[in-house]
């Protein structure tokens, strides 16, 4: 049975954000019903988030990026209301801890799941750890060989070259990255104004999410980039043929967002700044669940 009062409350809150587009055209289930499922089974609901471009605005220097205003507070509120809240990012866990460490109970999955931090315990993939010396050598080589306009991000088990402030350096970064990948066996992944080199370990945001959500019934995933498609696909597989499971795929739109991700989403938000408002609206609905 739908609790329309709560649903109306949430939809009014969403509407008041002004920046939210609800687009479930062609989707199998009405939006109000999904919200209601989260509300009625909070102990089996989980919320997972990408970081860059989803909970933070895109900027030139990756080292100084912070969560958008209200994000930490919204996640903290959410942690108290649902079973699981997690970040699934290409950033290293120590970076995520510096941004979200004060959110009690949040699970942090870094480097596409090569590192994790949950319930106070840090883990990392032994297969990836073996590559640390290779990455360290690549970082030294990058600093010696690449032009200073390219920012070099040290992620310990992977590295990224950033040319957002110098787009003319794209070819140089790509050629250098391809050459190193061929010589040293690392994997090259290209993102917006970024070339990343990482260990050849079979792990992505989809495998991380699939593992995290096996016991849940209602899962929301928020992302903005092509690597977040793997998480959307994991949700598709998890919910296919399982009517007791509900997946909510939320895409955050900004100039660098992935087009396919926007197409596949159940809900599209206009920029990272809209995320805390949506979460607060969902938390308000969850706060109104029947007690006991
Ligand atoms: O999985 P994510 O949390 O989305 O991380 C993906 C990459 O995000 C960062 O790079 C991107 O954001 C930078 C800061 O806004 C921007 O300058 C860059 O152009 C973007 O590609 C991060 O620095 C990378 O390590 C992540 O792989």
Q: Which numbered atom of ligand 1 lies nearest the CA of 160?
A: 25
Give the distance (Å) from ligand 1 centre to CA of residue 290. Answer: 40
Q: What is the pLDDT of residue 3?
A: 47
Rounded to an integer, what distance in angstroms lies between the CA atom of residue 156 and that of residue 129?
A: 9
Q: Which numbered atom of ligand 1 lies nearest the CA of 192?
A: 21
The CA-atom distances, in angstroms, between 38 and each of 43, 45, 116, 231 are 9, 6, 26, 19
Q: What is the pLDDT of residue 1?
A: 32
DSSP three-state, residue 172: helix
Complete DSSP assignment for 29-72:
S-HHHHHHHHHH-GGGEEEEE--BTTTB---S-GGG--PPTTHH
Sheet holding 115-118, edge to edge: 20-22, 267-270, 246-253, 218-223, 45-49, 84-88, 107-110, 115-118, 121-124
How many Cα atoms are found within 13 Å in the side-chain-facing hemisphere of 115? 22
- Pick the residue whose CA is nearest to atom 6 on ligand 1: 90
Q: Which numbered atom of ligand 1 lies nearest the CA of 59?
A: 15
Domains of the chain: which residue ranges? 4-125+203-287, 145-198
Give the distance (Å) from ligand 1 centre to CA of residue 75. Answer: 20
Ligand 1 cavity residues, CB under 6 Å: 50-53, 58-60, 62, 65, 89-91, 153, 160, 162, 164, 191-194, 196, 225, 227
Which tokens hold the place of 256? 């660098």
- Pick the residue whose CA is nearest to atom 11 on ligand 1: 52
Q: What is the pLDDT of residue 189?
A: 96
Q: What is the pLDDT of residue 19?
A: 39
Please state the pTM of the whole predicted model: 0.92
- Pick the residue whose CA is nearest to atom 25 on ligand 1: 91
In this structure, how many other beta carbons lie within 10 angstroms of the beta carbon of residue 169?
A: 22
∠121-123-128 over CA atoms, to 5°? 170
Mean pLDDT of the chain: 90
Rounded to an integer, what distance in angstroms lies between the CA atom of residue 87 and that of residue 110?
A: 8
Dump pLDDT digits (tens) for 25-49. Answer: 445 556 667 777 788 888 999 999 9
Task: Spell 236-259 as b/e; 16+ CB within 10 A means b.
Answer: eebbeeeeebbbbbbbbbbeebbe
Q: What is the pLDDT of residue 2?
A: 37
Task: State which of 48, 62, 204 you would mutate to test the pocket of ligand 1, scoring each by most atoms of that ligand within 8 A of its C-beta.
Answer: 62
Q: What is the pLDDT of residue 238?
A: 97
Prediction ipTM score: 0.99
Full pLDDT tens readout for the chain, 292 residues: 334 455 555 555 555 544 344 444 445 556 667 777 788 888 999 999 999 999 999 999 999 999 999 999 999 999 999 999 999 999 999 999 999 999 999 999 999 999 999 999 999 999 999 999 999 999 999 999 999 999 999 999 999 999 999 999 999 999 999 999 999 999 999 999 999 999 999 999 999 999 999 999 999 999 999 999 999 999 999 999 998 999 999 999 999 999 999 999 988 999 999 999 999 988 988 887 654 3
Residue range 4-125+203-287, CATH number: 3.40.50.1000
């Amino acid at each position: 049975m739908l609790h329309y009062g709560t649903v109306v409350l949430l939809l009014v809150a969403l509407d008041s954000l002004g920046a939210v587009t609800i687009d479930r055209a062609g989707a199998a289930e009405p939006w109000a019903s999904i919200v209601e499922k989260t509300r009625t089974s909070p102990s089996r609901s989980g919320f997972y988030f990408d970081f860059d471009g989803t909970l933070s605005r895109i900027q030139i220097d990756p080292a100084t990026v912070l969560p958008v205003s209200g994000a930490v507070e919204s996640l903290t509120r959410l942690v108290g209301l649902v079973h699981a809240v997690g970040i699934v990012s290409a950033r290293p866990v120590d970076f995520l801890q510096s941004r979200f460490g004060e959110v009690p109970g949040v699970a942090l999955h870094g480097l596409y799941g090569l590192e994790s931090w949950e319930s106070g315990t840090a883990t990392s993939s032994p297969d990836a750890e073996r590559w640390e010396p290779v990455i360290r050598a690549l970082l030294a080589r990058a600093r010696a060989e690449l032009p200073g306009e390219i920012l070099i991000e040290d992620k310990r088990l992977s590295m990224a070259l950033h040319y957002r402030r110098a787009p003319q350096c794209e070819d140089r970064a790509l050629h250098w990255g391809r050459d190193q990948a061929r010589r040293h066996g690392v994997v090259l992944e290209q993102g917006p104004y970024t070339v990343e080199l990482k260990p050849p370990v079979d792990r992505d945001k989809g495998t991380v999410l699939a593992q995290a959500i096996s016991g849940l019934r209602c899962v929301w995933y928020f992302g903005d980039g092509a690597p977040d498609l793997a998480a959307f696909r994991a949700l598709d597989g998890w919910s296919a043929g399982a009517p007791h499971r509900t997946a909510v795929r939320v895409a955050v739109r900004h100039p660098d967002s992935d087009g396919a991700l926007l197409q596949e989403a159940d809900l599209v938000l206009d920029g990272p700044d809209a995320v805390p408002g949506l979460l607060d609206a969902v938390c308000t609905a969850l706060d109104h669940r029947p007690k006991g």
